[in-house]
Amino acid sequence: MFSNISVAPPDKILKLNGFFKADPNPDKINLGVGAYRDANGKNYLLPSVRRAEQMIYDQQFPKEYLPIDGYAPFNEAAARLIFGKELHNEIKERTVTVQELSGTGSLRVAFEFIHTFFPDAEVYIPSPTWANHAAIVKKTTLRAARTYRYLGNRAVDTEGMLEDLRAAPAGSIILLHPCAHNPTGYDIPDDQWGRVFDVLEQGKLIPYFDSAYQGYASGDLDRDAHVIRDAVKRGFEVFVSQSFAKNMGLYAERAGALHIVCGVPQVAEAVRTQIKSTIRAMHSSSPCHGAYLAATVLNTPELRAQWEVELKAMAARIQEMRQALVDALEKHGVVLPGGNDHITRQVGMFSFTGLTPDQVLYLRDNCSIYMLENGRISMAGLNPSNVDRFAGFVAEAIKA
Ligand code: LMR
ipTM rounded to 2 decimals: 0.95
Specify the ligand 1 atom closest to the Cα of 33.
3
115 closest CA partner among 141, 94, 139, 133: 141
Measured in Å, residue 33 CA sits from the centre of ligand 1 at 5
Q: Whose CA is nearest to atom 5 of ligand 1?
A: 34
Specify the ligand 1 atom closest to the Cα of 34.
3
Q: Whose CA is nearest to atom 2 of ligand 1?
A: 34
Share of the chain above pLDDT 70, in %: 100
Cα(145)–Cα(164) distance, rounded to whole angstroms? 13
* pLDDT interval class at 389 (50, 70, 90): very high
Sequence-separated (6 or more) residues with CB below 8 Å from residue 323: 344
* pLDDT interval class at 400 (50, 70, 90): confident
Give residue-wise pLDDT tens across range 211-267: 999 999 999 999 999 999 999 999 999 999 999 999 999 999 999 999 999 999 999
- The predicted pLDDT at position 296 comes to 98
Determine the average pLDDT of the residues in 5-15: 93
Peptide bond into 183 cis (omega under 30): yes
Share of the chain above pLDDT 90, in %: 99
Instruction: Output 218-221 pairs: Cβ under 8 A, ≥24 positions apart.
Output: 218/179, 218/315, 218/347, 219/311, 219/312, 219/315, 219/316, 219/319, 220/312, 221/81, 221/247, 221/308, 221/311
- The predicted pLDDT at position 237 comes to 98
Specify the ligand 1 atom closest to the Cα of 130.
2
Cα(297)–Cα(80) distance, rounded to whole angstroms? 13
Determine the average pLDDT of the residues in 16-39: 95
Measured in Å, residue 279 CA sits from the centre of ligand 1 at 23
Measured in Å, residue 32 CA sits from the centre of ligand 1 at 9
The distance from CA 257 to its chain's CA centroid, rounded to whole angstroms, is: 13
125 closest CA partner among 155, 99, 151: 151
* pLDDT interval class at 335 (50, 70, 90): very high
Cα(352)–Cα(335) distance, rounded to whole angstroms? 14
Q: Whose CA is nearest to atom 1 of ligand 1?
A: 34
Sequence-separated (6 or more) residues with CB below 8 Å from residue 268: 93, 94, 95, 96, 260, 262
Give residue-wise pLDDT tens across range 352-361: 999 999 999 9
Residues with CB under 6 A from ligand 1: 13, 33-34, 130, 132, 182
Handedness of CA 40, 377, 182, 158 (dihedral sign): positive
Domains of the chain, CATH where assigned: 15-44+316-399 (3.90.1150.10), 65-299 (3.40.640.10)
Which among 14, 17, 31, 33 is the best mutation to test ligand 1's pocket, defined by most ligand atoms within 8 Å of the CB? 33
- The predicted pLDDT at position 309 comes to 98
Measured in Å, residue 351 CA sits from the centre of ligand 1 at 13
Measured in Å, residue 197 CA sits from the centre of ligand 1 at 27
Handedness of CA 184, 136, 174, 281 (dihedral sign): negative
Give residue-wise pLDDT tens across range 49-62: 999 999 999 999 99
Give residue-wise pLDDT tens across range 61-115: 999 999 999 999 999 999 999 999 999 999 999 999 999 999 999 999 999 999 9
Give residue-wise pLDDT tens across range 158-192: 999 999 999 999 999 999 999 999 999 999 999 99
What pTM was estimated for this model as a whole?
A: 0.97
Cα maximum dimension of the chain: 63
Q: Are 146 and 122 in contact (CB under 8 A)?
A: yes
Measured in Å, residue 245 CA sits from the centre of ligand 1 at 10
Specify the ligand 1 atom closest to the Cα of 183.
2
Specify the ligand 1 atom closest to the Cα of 212.
5
Give residue-wise pLDDT tens across range 103-148: 999 999 999 999 999 999 999 999 999 999 999 999 999 999 999 9
- Enzyme catalytic residues: 130, 210, 246
Which among 30, 37, 104, 130 is the best mutation to test ligand 1's pocket, defined by most ligand atoms within 8 Å of the CB? 130
Assess whether pLDDT exceeds 90 at residue 4: yes
